[in-house]
Amino acid sequence: MLQDAIMAPVLSDGSDCPADVLIVEDDPIIAIDFEDRLLGFGVTKVRTVGSVAQALKAIAARAPDFALLDVELIREKSFAIAERLAALDIPFVFVTGYGAETSIPAQFAARPRLQKPCSSDALEAALQMRGA
């Protein structure tokens, strides 16, 4: 379920989709599914990483236009990535398979979330909407 709207990235090609999306997901099957759907929506570049360290390195190398953050990674949570993205004013959505019981820090409580598995419509809406 998409909560509220998401800040839309500034796009260079005039489309409704961000050009470069970072997926932070530790399950390769889910990551491939997200990547395929994002490319189908018109995203031109999708990068996938499976850990906080890899994500922070990817962001430092080239900031994405948008990010999907799995909350629960193997032995870690993605909140350090969320902090970095927020500091850079890069829109992102939390993705979780654990539902409303997933504990999100207060500073990110208003951020949008997608429930895994999410529909293509919800994922596409996350890319096109604006929000906090």
- Structural domain contains residue 4: no
The answer to whether residue 1 is domain-embedded is no
Which tens digits make up the pLDDT trace of 20-77?
Answer: 999 999 999 999 999 999 999 999 999 999 999 999 999 999 999 999 999 999 999 9
Does the pLDDT at position 87 exceed 60?
yes
Question: Which pLDDT score, from 0 to 100, does residue 100 have?
Answer: 60
Domain interval for residue 119: 20-103+110-128
**Per-residue pLDDT at 131:** 36
Identify whether 122 is part of a domain. yes
Check if the beta carbon of residue 84 is closer than 8 Å to that of residue 63.
Answer: no
Give the rounded percent of residues in the chain with a pLDDT score beyond 70.
82
Sheet with 113-115: strands ordered across: 45-49, 20-24, 66-70, 92-96, 113-115
Task: Give the residue with greater pLDDT, 64 vs 110.
Answer: 64
Predicted pLDDT at 103: 80
* pTM of the predicted model as reported, rounded to 2 decimal places: 0.84
Domain of residue 26, CATH code: 3.40.50.2300
Answer yes or no: is 86 within a domain: yes
pLDDT at site 98? 75
Instruction: Estimate the crossing angle of helix 52-61 against helix 79-87, to 10 degrees.
Output: 20
Looking at residue 101, its pLDDT comes to: 58
Query: Is 5 part of any domain?
Result: no
| Residue 84 domain-assigned (yes or no) | yes
The domain tally of the chain equals 1
Instruction: Identify which of 93, 127, 126 has the alpha carbon closest to the alpha carbon of residue 110.
Output: 93
Q: Between vectors from CA 53 to CA 61 and to CA 103, what angle results, nearest 5°? A: 120
Choice among 5-9, 84-88, 109-113, 127-131 with the minimum mean pLDDT = 5-9
In a domain, residue 45? The reply is yes
